Amino acid sequence: MRGVGWRRAAGRIGWRRIARQTGRSVAVWAVSTLTMLALALLLPDFRLQSADGDSATRIALTAALGAGAFGVLSAVVWPLLVRLLLLVPALVLGLLVFFLNGSLLLVALRLNPTGRGAVAPETAVIVAAVMSAVASATGGALAVRDDEAYRRRLHRLAARRRRSDPPCAPTPGVVFLQLDGVGHDVLTAAVAKGLMPALARLLAADGGTRPPTHRLTPWHTDWSSQTGASQLGILHGSTYDVPAFRWYEKDRGEVMVCNRPTSAAELQRRAVAHTGDGGLLSEDGASRGNLFSGGAGEQALVLSIAARRRSRENRSRAGYFAYFSDPANAVRTALSFVAEVGREIGESTRARFRRRRPRVSRGGLYPLVRAFATVVERDVVVAAVMGDMLAGRTAVYADLVAYDEVAHHSGPYSRDAEKVLTRLDRSLALLIRVAEHAPRPYRLVVLSDHGQSPGETFHARYRLTLTDLVRAGCGLHVPRRAEGTRSGTEARAAVRAALRRPVEEGERHRPARRREPIVLASGNLGLVSFPDVPHRLTREEIDARHPALLTTLADHPGIGFLLVASEAHGGVVLGPGGTEIPLADLDRDPGPLARFGPGAVEAVRRTHSFPHTADIMVNSAYDPADGEVLAFEEQIGSHGGLGGAQSRPFLMSPLELSEPVAAGERLTGAEQVHRVLRRWLGELSETGVPLAGAAAEEGERAA
């Protein structure tokens, strides 16, 4: 009897679910019908009646049948079209979405049994976009209080993946989520302000009664505090011979830039050759939105493969298909993209009218780059990670570049940047919910690759660039009007990967006159190279060649210190007032490096050992009182050198995993972070026990 009663109760629950689903479908259909009627009234090239006119009932029937046909085609045909277009670059597919959506509407009207309904092709794109957006919004509004509907959808996706993919291991998987450019201090401040409630719950910093499930650990970058070096070290275990974000290699006659596809591919090749290891993700891994692949078999928006011919090996089924299979996703992202462009234009205009300082130019293509980083890249990467989790992949590493891009131009502690942190936290909360429906338990590791240090630009303070200062020290002509140094950021790399833009020959080689120096900027780190000399110049050779150059640079108030090779000492650090300290003596007397804090001496010594270190390495001035540096690029939040928060990213890990380092020790360098992550992957492969926090939550739901 008890079994019969249980089956009857289950049957009643099942019928109620069917009734709710049917009610939502009918409501969405009705709203779509009304939307189509309204658009037919507003748009002259869209009609739902014959030329002689029809009754209101006939017009309504035409609209209802047309809306129904469009909904069915969107649900059935659309995923098949997207699967056929997976090799199309992400941004191109995003634009193609609107034309395909419009085509579905034309087909829906052609299939309408009433024989009515006609629309111009260009108008069909608008009608289809509006109807998709309205249907998505209506469905979301009806299901917003029905948490079971959301869970059931995730269960269906998970079950579908389990049928198509081989069974995954019962051991826990791990998602490494990189919040690009978010420093340890920025994160703790955001959690304290309530800007990131999902992170706060993991750290038990939300005032609740649950114990923490994660720990927060700061780590320290090398001298080159930027994504190219840090992510190469984290994913491939080597930061060797990456002195900056961009540098000149004399033996190849080429400027290397970390966010250039050919450079990223070469750096990854060198790292693999140096370590003899395929990468952190070589075992059933996925790489999403990164500069490097980490050896993953599944990749999406990965820069190091952007220059390669597209094939089955370098496309992402779980990424693009999971996102674009729903036309409403593309419409929603496009609308958010436009809104973000408008938001940036409004915020930059407000900052200019209020004469905020510091401030940099935010015109040109920047509003589009920002919108791509904060909307398109985020949506595609998060969708790809969701697909990876539902497919049960062992290790996933994803980079969200939104905060880094906005902080470069608005400042790391600005209101703009704080809003981005809140949106990133929502993405994190979504991934936590998806983990509950994955075919295996998942542990979440959140980390950053570097922080950002605030401060005005070198150009804004002194009305000249580092290039101008170097030319003056060499006795070369200096233009009367100084031009700011162009900024290069990780978001531009994501745009390049999405567009699969080829590298032009002119981008590879930087033309230079025989004796004129090449001056490059990486945040507040500058590099000066003399291309006509095949080896790295020593201090003695530079003095013989340009007697005033080193003194001009070292004595400038915007310069913190210089690193140059030396025939007498191997290498020396130069500071103002004739300060010259051999590298071997820095432990006893750090000189100008003292204000840059612990680890500065070791970082400078290591960079000095790289084969492609520049003739002159220039680090800007740093004020420990306010943490500000002077960027040689057009950025008011910068990273790339030594000084302040840029060198202090964070690592947030589950308490079930071992401590990153022993108590009292410093976690230093991306290579050590790589070893820690490797150790955790080994620990996960030896256990099948789910996360304690996740298990507790499931128990609470069951109760």
Are 184 and 174 contacting, i.e. CB atoms less than 8 angstroms apart? no
Closest CA relative to residue 255, chosen from 508, 603, 594: 508
Closest CA relative to residue 358, chosen from 227, 228, 484, 472: 484
With vertex at residue 83, the alpha carbon angle to CA 80 and CA 88, rounded to the nearest 5 degrees, is 135
Average pLDDT score over the chain: 81
- The percent of residues above 90 in pLDDT, for the chain, comes to 50
Peptide bond into 654 cis (omega under 30): no
Question: Does pLDDT of 498 surpass 60?
Answer: no
Work out the average pLDDT over 385-396.
Answer: 90
Pairwise pLDDT comparison (287 vs 122), residue with the higher score: 287
Are 98 and 128 contacting, i.e. CB atoms less than 8 angstroms apart? yes
Torsion of CA 25, 31, 37, 39, to 10 degrees: -110
pLDDT in tens, 49-62: 665 565 677 777 77
* DSSP element (H, E) containing 442: strand 442-447
Residue given tokens 């990131």 in the structure block: 196
- How much is the pLDDT for 75? 64
**What residues have CB less than 8 Å from 39, skipping those under 6 apart?**
46, 126, 127, 130, 131
Pairwise pLDDT comparison (130 vs 605), residue with the higher score: 605
- How much is the pLDDT for 696? 34
Pairs from 591-597 (Cβ < 8 Å, separation ≥ 24): 591/561, 592/560, 592/561, 593/561, 595/560, 595/622, 595/624, 596/560, 596/622, 596/642, 596/643, 597/624, 597/647
Are 89 and 71 contacting, i.e. CB atoms less than 8 angstroms apart? no
Helix, strand, coil percentages in the chain from 3-state DSSP, rounded to 5 = 50, 15, 35
Span of 107-116, 571-580, 611-620 with lowest mean pLDDT: 107-116
- How much is the pLDDT for 344? 87
Radius of gyration (C-alpha) of the chain in whole angstroms = 28
276 Rama sector, left if φ>0, alpha if ψ -120 to 50, beta otherwise = left
Question: Does pLDDT of 384 surpass 70?
Answer: yes
With vertex at residue 241, the alpha carbon angle to CA 236 and CA 243, rounded to the nearest 5 degrees, is 110
- How much is the pLDDT for 351? 83
Closest CA relative to residue 72, chosen from 29, 127, 30: 29
Q: Which amino acid is residue 372, in one-letter code? A: F
pLDDT in tens, 16-46: 656 666 766 677 667 777 777 777 777 666 7
Work out the average pLDDT over 359-373.
Answer: 84
Q: Is the dihedral of CA 163, 167, 173, 175 positive or negative?
A: negative
Global confidence as pTM: 0.79
Are 214 and 428 contacting, i.e. CB atoms less than 8 angstroms apart? no
Are 498 and 376 contacting, i.e. CB atoms less than 8 angstroms apart? yes
Backbone angles phi, psi at 600, to 5 degrees: -65, -40
Are 571 and 583 contacting, i.e. CB atoms less than 8 angstroms apart? yes
d(CA 298, CA 285): 7
Please report which residue ranges of 89-146 form alpha helices under DSSP H.
Answer: 90-111, 121-143
d(CA 117, CA 60): 11
Which runs of E-coded beta strand occur in 250-307? 254-257, 285-288, 298-300
Span of 146-155, 291-300, 437-446, 492-501 with lowest mean pLDDT: 146-155
301 Rama sector, left if φ>0, alpha if ψ -120 to 50, beta otherwise = left
- How much is the pLDDT for 499? 54
Q: How confident is the model at residue 332 (pLDDT cuts 50, 70, 90)?
A: confident
d(CA 120, CA 117): 11
Work out the average pLDDT over 67-76.
Answer: 66
Q: Annotate 577-635 with DSSP letters as a single string.
A: GG-EEEGGGTTT--GGGGGG-TTHHHHHHHHHTSTT--SEEEEE-EETTTTEE-BSSS-
Closest CA relative to residue 274, chosen from 671, 680, 681: 671
pLDDT in tens, 72-83: 666 666 555 555
